[in-house]
Structure 1
Amino acid sequence: MVTIYHNNKCSKSRQTLELLREKGVELQVVEYLKDTPSAEQLKAVLHKLGLQPEQVLRKGEQVYRENFAAKSFTDEEWLQIMADNPILIERPIVVKGDKAAIGRPPEKVLEIL
Structure 2
Amino acid sequence: MAGSLTIYHNPSCSKSREAKNYLDQEATTKGFQLEVIEYLKDSPSPEQIKQILGFLVEGKGDGEDEQAVYGKFLRNNSGVSTTQEVLESLGEHCANMQRPIVVNWAANKAVVCRK
- TM superposition score normalised by structure 1: 0.73
Q: Does 1:39 align with 2:46?
A: yes
CA offset digits 1:17-59 (Å, max 9, x no partner):
0000111242111100010112221111111112543442112
Instruction: Please tell me the residue identity of whatever aligns with 1:35.
Output: D
Count of aligned pairs: 96
CA RMSD in angstroms comes to 2.1
Distance between the aligned counterparts of 1:80 and 1:30, measured in 2? 21
Secondary structure of 2:6's counterpart equals: strand
Between 43-52 and 1-10, report the one with greater CA deviation.
43-52
Structure 1 unaligned blocks of 5 or more:
106-113
Summarize the Cα distance change of 1:54–1:102 in structure 2 as closer, same or farther, 3 Å threshold.
Answer: closer
- The match for 2:84 is 76
1:93 corresponds to 2:101:
yes
Change (3 A) 1:41 1:80: farther
Q: Distance in 2 between matches of 1:8 and 1:21?
A: 14
> Aligned residues: percent identity?
40
Unaligned 5+ residue runs, structure 2? 58-65
